[in-house]
Structure 1
């Protein structure tokens, strides 16, 4: 009977090494154990709001649907430290500046003098060798400016840019310090040079990272169910491939498996005698994944996206570094916030509202546990989102944050009263309006009369 089968299953010596091949692990697990695990997993679905901001999943800790153990741990680095950033990384965005007048082109497209949008961020550089171990030059000026960054240096790898303003070196403020003293602070300090710099976030657009979604058939080596299973796959901007049993499970349930694609081998496979098949061999482990698409065009779409994930660009856009720097600050230390106060976020899986102390700055909404807590618990990158007042359930007035595409998450927030909701809605719209998709910015620029400079 079922209970006796389950007891037998518990006594089987399950291997804990997630790197083992499919067959070596699946042979030790029978059908009843698999069904029991799938039932448990379905009960552990996480929310699309609230707690999902801090979802904790470790690479390799969520293992295949072919009945391997689930072990949840920290996944902060790979999920942008608790931030929901999917829409930002799906396209190129241009910061229009603090002055969002429609008559002004973004600074990166215009030759007219425009105010720079300086924001603070943290840069850490490992000391090298030679006469210039840090790999950059600074100017004799106040404020102290970075005038040169060596190619392929530690400074370039850390994201330091020409034009950055030095604010602090190894924890010491240098804004009113002579150039020579700031240089001595770096020379006499530790091998990891930590600087707070001011960077212009409007100088360049960000570079999109590969994302891809769709149904694929995945080959399984299960001793019981051999063949191909149709699954919903999601390649995220951080280079991790997630898959779910159904499309509806994305954002609601934990993925059946998470695989890191960086360094993996991918390519078309003809050994199985089936069209539109391609394989993926992750860098860690000895597993081989076989996928089957519905057409040659669909297969090429996945291969192109996966190839970019295999060879990722690790350097962040300066604005991403700014937000990561801000998360380390107390709420009231973030300079010139556009709005702040208590907000409740809907956790849809539990139908409860979770309270955060929130700070809005440059299209990013930061979540803190309380007014005095540090660091931030997480936040939302809001580029491209639309903001409106809606009624939801028993609440007459809530704030709906709706993405431009249904593949991204919708969020619901609620302040203490209707007037507070309206205050937040006004601030959110103005903050989001500071960003434009690059293609729209270029189109607007091309439609304007040619810029002239009077002499």
Structure 2
């Protein structure tokens, strides 16, 4: 895919937006069409087994609102979320893990049967069905996938483990990256951070593997204050049962705003139930 003659296939989202904003007239997009392989391996693509318009509700969303979205359930346990069935790019994704509790919510009513997906740490999402047969099909399929994944290796976790072994310089794409202060054990330490798909990789040396990775799915980001330290922001759990918070300090106010915008984009897009 090219924007104004520039290949943006592996360009960070922020840079693509800047490139589009520089265009004064009509925006020129160059696209290529791709066709499915005759017998694609599971590592390349998965089969969509269910799709429908479904109401969705994030229990950690403070607005407490329901949204009607086009959902597509794939055989690998991912639920792609689209605003409408005509959209080509998903606006979010629910990644189902093995062992997730799936059952009918007590808040179901005459207008809608609600399927709740939750686990022990309090992360939950509700799906609302206006047709009983659709509720039955989705609940059975989700439960079967969850049970099967208890015995299978989690491909998503394996992918994160592989990225964990990469050096800071070896990552081709990211939602945001750069140096920042990290508060650990009461001390501020400068580290190189790289954000990708709701995971924050922390590096001490740019040419070495990450020293840790933070799974921030279900977390929120906001500005914060911490003593005399400037440009502080925090990432905190949105679950009342988990009080974990991580504090970081950017090098400037624009850098702080850049990190907060990237965190909001990355964390809102990916809904991970684990």
Shorter-chain TM-score: what band?
Answer: 0.3 to 0.5
TM-score computed with the length of structure 2 as normaliser? 0.48
* Structure with larger RCO (C-alpha < 8 A, sep 6+): 1
User: Counting strand residues as a fraction of each chain, which structure ranks higher?
Assistant: 2
Greater CA radius of gyration, 1 or 2? 1
